[in-house]
Amino acid sequence: MSFRITISPKDQAAGRFVSRVRRELQKALAEEAQKRGLTQSGLARAIGVNRSVISRELRGHKDLSLSRVAELAWALGRRPVFDLVETVTVQAATSPEPDEASAPKL
């Protein structure tokens, strides 16, 4: 028995995208912390805001605007790349073959 929460595809796509953007920023900060010792305070100084703002934005307690994403990317020495990739629908391998009655008439 399995259970799937009820969420609209629209809300699911939006929630997962927001989560992905935030995680990419967290990952970049971790990489820059290893490379050059960058901290949240350093990041905040670079873009001219209080450290608590950066902390709340990266923890998901405050929304990230598109321009803030670009500012953070800049301060992290990164360039954000935005791409809209066409959705691919995968047919399950175990799908039954359509029977004669339901098959399209050629």
Partner 1 sequence: MSTILELAELGSLVKLDPALEPNELEWRIVYALPHLLPQLQTELPTYVSQWRVESSPLQQFDALLEVFCSGETLTFDRMFKPLTHIQDGIWELKTPDLRLFGWFPMKDCFVMGAMDTAFKVKSHNLYVGYANMVAYRRNQLLLDHPKFIPGKDPNDVVSNYDFP
Positions in the binding site for partner 1 (CB under 8 A) = 1-7, 11-12, 14-16, 18-19, 23, 26-27, 29-31, 33, 40, 55-56, 58-63, 88-90
Query: By the 8 A CB rule, do 21 and 69 touch?
Result: yes
Min dist CB 85 to partner 1, Å, is 11
Min dist CB 20 to partner 1, Å, is 8
| Amino acid, single-letter form, for residue 31 | E
CA 52 – CA 47 distance, rounded (Å): 13
Min dist CB 6 to partner 1, Å, is 7
Pull the structure tokens for residue 15.
């929630």
